[in-house]
Amino acid sequence: MNAEKWREIKTLGEFNEIRSRGSGYVVITDKADESTVHATSCGQLTEARFADKVIRNESKFGGFFWTDDLDFAMYKWDAYKCGNCLR
Ligand SMILES: [Zn+2]
């Protein structure tokens, strides 16, 4: 049993592993905009977006996080549900 509640996604390898595993949620935070929570299958979770935000900008303007709990994600990051993948 994995007790881990959430973690920051720091590498493209981790990001792809989370998407292929398909469980839990991915939160994208943004200092200038709203944070959003996505299903791991959401089409908005692209390598290009991850690479731009986390690798090129070094997460200075926001980052990517994984959690298994939707309510927790919305509370912790004050995140909105993605209108594309979560309704
Ligand atoms: Zn989404």
Q: What is the pLDDT of residues 54-77, one digit of tens each?
A: 999 999 999 999 999 999 999 999
pLDDT digits (tens, 9 = 90+) for 31-40: 999 999 999 9
Integer Cα distance of 13 and 82 in angstroms: 23
Q: How far is the CA of 68 from the centre of ligand 1 (A)?
A: 15
42 C-alpha to ligand 1 centroid (Å): 4
The structural domains of the chain, with segments of one domain joined by +, span 7-81
Mean pLDDT on 4-28:
96
Distance from the alpha carbon of residue 24 to the mean position of ligand 1, in angstroms:
12
pTM exceeds cut of 0.85: yes
pLDDT, position 64: 98
Ligand 1 centroid–CA 27 distance in Å is: 9
Distance 47 CA to ligand 1 centre (A): 14
Q: How many CA atoms lie within 13 A of 36 on its CB side?
A: 15
